[in-house]
Amino acid sequence: MIFVTGGAGFIGSNFVLDWLAQSDEPVLNLDKLTYAGNLKNLVSLEGDARHLFVRGDIGDKELVLELLGRHKPRAILNFAAESHVDRSILGPGEFIQTNINGTFGLLEAARAYRSELPESAKNAFRFLHVSTDEVYGTLGPNDPPFSETTAYAPNSPYSASKAASDHLVRAYHHTYGMPVLTTNCSNNYGPYQFPEKLIPLVISNALAGQPLPVYGDGQQVRDWLYVSDHCAAIRRVLEAGKPGETYNVGGWNEMANLDVVHTLCGILDREAPRAGGSYRELVTFVADRPGHDRRYAIDARKLERELGWRPAETFETGILKTVRWYLGNQEWVRDVQSGAYQDWIAQNYRDRE
């Protein structure tokens, strides 16, 4: 069995679904079910004995220890995190609690659990920590992409909290011998992404005839990674990664945010035409967020060279799949756009007109 934390969130639920589509090895899934955790992402697994869901906090050491002792997983994969930069600016406390204190509690539980394992199981055990490229800071337009040796320089409360969690994971390897693996990924997109992030926000706003907000001049550059490609990379790192190593996971798709928005508008113009004109007419430039990093780019050659992974999707193929998924799952979108979600959107964009 593997133990997945945050497995009802966007990346975590995609990982669980992909894992069980390719393997009969059971998944123990722990998720706190905050606003971005959604059991409807996993509705296809109802009644599947290979999936055991537990609602709980990774920082609850007693609960985690009890689950580890009872189910004896061979690996922990930590997806659990607060992950939205804008939310971290408005309320950093939850990011410190989950991303730093929560990771610390999970590491402590894993250390205690592993210490009681037989030697063969102890050697085979893995702790895989899923992180972000944002820990590296920002790049100039001509700077080389982030590599695994790039110095950390986080610029938001979110990225600082993830950087701290990465350092804790590293320290537990060097101090306690914990067989850890860390992955730092670029911007994910795909099915089940909560519509506060750029791509699902643009899709949902466009279909509702609402403005498509673009921060600043829209020239912030990101590397875009289709979520199923990310899941495949994590499976490969778990299978063959070297304990103590970090692996950058990227999609080799650098694009400016405005270009992403225009691409989405073009696809929607074809797939779900808007009466009266193009969706591009809804693009609205709004005030930039504080400290907005200008460019991220990932050098994922180490992962390809050492473990043979490359993304299967181009941005063109992945974004088309994503738009079609949202068009075909409007009930899911309506369900997640609760009153709390609307309150958040109103708060975040209230002063950006």
**Residues forming the active site:** 133-134, 158
Structure tokens given for 90: 């408005």
Give the start-end residues of each E strand in 116-211.
126-132, 180-185, 187-189
**233: Cβ contacts below 8 Å, ≥ 6 apart:** 183, 185, 247, 249, 303, 309, 311
Distance CA 31, CA 9 (A): 8
All residues at 6 or more sequence positions from 70 whose CB lies less than 8 Å from its CB, including other chains: none
Rounded-to-integer distance, Cα 257 and Cα 260, Å: 5
User: Which H/E stretch holds residue 226?
Assistant: strand 221-226
Task: Say how many Å lie between the first and final Cα of the chain, rounded.
Answer: 50
CB 106 within 8 A of CB 78: yes
User: Are 337 and 204 spatial neighbours (Cβ–Cβ below 8 Å)?
Assistant: yes
Q: How far is 319 from 22, CA to CA, in rounded Å?
A: 23
Which residues pair with residue 27 across a beta bridge? Answer: 2, 51
